[in-house]
Amino acid sequence: MSHPPDGPYGYGYSEPTPWASGVAVVTMVAALSAAGVYAFGAALAQIHPLVSVAVNLIAVGGAAPTAWRWRFAPVTRWVIAGLAVGVALAWIGLLLF
C-alpha cells in the first residue's frame, strides 16, 4: 500500500479515519455519479454507441490526473472513491442494458 506523499494538504495528521461519514459520502456520490453517467451515456448511445464510448473515455481520461493527485486529501479522497465506484457501475450498466 502506498503512503501519501508530502504535499500541500498537510499529511501526517493523526486523527482517526471517519469511516462512517466517509462511507456515507462514497455511497451518495456513487449513486449520483452513476445515475448521471448512465443517463448521459444512454442518451449519447441513442445517437451512436461510439459517441457514447468516446465521450466517456475522454471525460475519464481528462479527470483521472486530477483525481490521482487528490486521492490522499482528507476529504476529497471519499468523493474521488465515490466517483470511481459510480462511473464503474454506470459503465457496467451501459454494457449490460
- Domain positions in the chain are 30-96
Q: How confident is the model at residue 47 (pLDDT cuts 50, 70, 90)?
A: very high
Q: What is the pTM of this model?
A: 0.81
CA distance 27 to 10: 26
CA distance 86 to 34: 4
pLDDT at residue 14, rounded to an integer: 58
Distances, alpha carbon 28 to alpha carbons 56, 63, 70, 90, in Å? 21, 19, 19, 14
pLDDT at residue 1, rounded to an integer: 55
Q: In degrees, to the nearest 5, what angle opens at C-alpha 75 toward C-alphas 74 and 81?
A: 100
Predicted confidence (pLDDT) per residue in 55-94, tens digit: 999 999 999 999 999 888 888 999 999 999 999 999 999 9
Contact 67, 84 (CB under 8 A): yes
